[in-house]
Every structure is written in C-alpha cells, then in structure tokens.
Amino acid sequence: MTKEEIRERNREKLHRILDMVLDGNGFESRKRNETGTLPTLFFEYSGHVNLFKIALHKDGWFSYADPDGKWEFYLNNEISDTVLETLDAQIKDSLKDDKELDTIRRDIKQVEDKLAEDKKKLSKMKKTLRKKAKEHEADT
C-alpha cells in the first residue's frame, strides 16, 4: 500500500473516530460533578509526532483519574481495523449502560445550582432594597 493510500484510509478512519468521540460526549461539558457517571472521551493530536490519542472514562471524568481505555494512532502507519472496531465497541458499551438516572441527577443538580445562585441574587437585591428604603425614609 502506498503512503498516499495509507493517508487516505487513515483520514477516513479518523473522521469515523472523531464522530465516535463527538457522539459519545455530545456537546456539553463532561465534568463528573456536572454529568454524573456519563462517559467522557478525550482526543488529542500531537502534530510534532503525527500522533492521535483517544482516552475513555466510562464513568465520567474527574481529576487525576486514569482512563478506562486508551488508544494511540501514529498517522504515518495504517490504523488497524481491529483497533478501530475495539474502540467503537468500548465506546458503545460505555454508552449502552442505563445512564438515565445519572442524566436526571445531573439535571437536578444543575437546577439546584441555578436556584442557589438565584437565591443569592435575590438576597442581595432585598438587602439593597432595604438600604435604599431606609435612605429614602431618612430623606423625607
């Protein structure tokens, strides 16, 4: 196989990998404290060595956690179909677990956080109102 053929095949496979990562993550932040145990995928490209990396955290990402799966692809070499199938299977497996409860918990936490923020704003507004009312009474 020529270098050009390898490059073209790898390009197609990289598009497939990127689709897997984006489909697995969605388009939201995937911090564990925000999304519970929804899976988190990372991808990284190191242009100086032409290396593409994927990391999978099946139960969500948190600081200093080692990934459950890691894959590295040097783009000068052909990406193995077997490795690609393994990556696809791992991602699908992490997504098929029943994540509905975690999604509901995440949504509740987001609403609770927003509510707490709104309560702080309301408290400040009430304090400002009391202060202005006192100033107004003093002026009249």
Query: Hey, what are 12's tokens?
Result: 């197609």
Asked if pLDDT for residue 90 goes beyond 60, the answer is: yes
Q: Give pLDDT, residue 15.
A: 93
d(CA 53, CA 44): 5
- Whether this model's pTM surpasses 0.75: no
All structural domains of the chain with their residue ranges: 1-97, 98-140
Higher pLDDT, 96 or 124: 124
Mean pLDDT (the chain) is 87
If you average pLDDT over residues 97-101, what whole number do you get?
Answer: 62
Residues 6+ apart with CB under 8 A from 103: 35, 36, 38
What kind and span of H or E run contains 94?
helix 81-96
